[in-house]
Structure 1
């Protein structure tokens, strides 16, 4: 695996959004690129819908 993420993406990413299929697809796409989940997901309610966040880390970052 490359030491750097593809397409100039950062080593650390925090994906956020409404808790729906679109958010799950974004996390799945990051995993397919080679990112790893970092920590537990977070969730909150904004009065309208659940908003979630998931940190993603490029695997070579901690080496």
Structure 2
């Protein structure tokens, strides 16, 4: 089964660490990162899709993607 996650957060070290943690758990980058600017708060928001192939698991609505 192939899992998909879209990580988002402010453009800061914490976001980079979340993406790095996902990569170290076997997730792979999927496509280019995205950026948007929130003019109300003055914050740049990042997004990065990641995917992971897992064996022996069937998809169900209760899957907690962050645990993989």
TM-score (norm 2): 0.71
> Over alpha carbons, which structure has the higher Rg?
2
Name stretches of at least 5 consecutive residues in structure 1 with no aligned partner: 5-10
**Structure 1 vs Structure 2 CA RMSD:** 1.6
Name stretches of at least 5 consecutive residues in structure 2 with no aligned partner: 55-68
Count of matched residue positions in the alignment of Structure 1 and Structure 2: 52
Which consecutive aligned stretches of 4+ in structure 1 deviate over 4 angstroms post-superposition? none
Task: Say if 2:28 is the partner of 1:55.
Answer: no
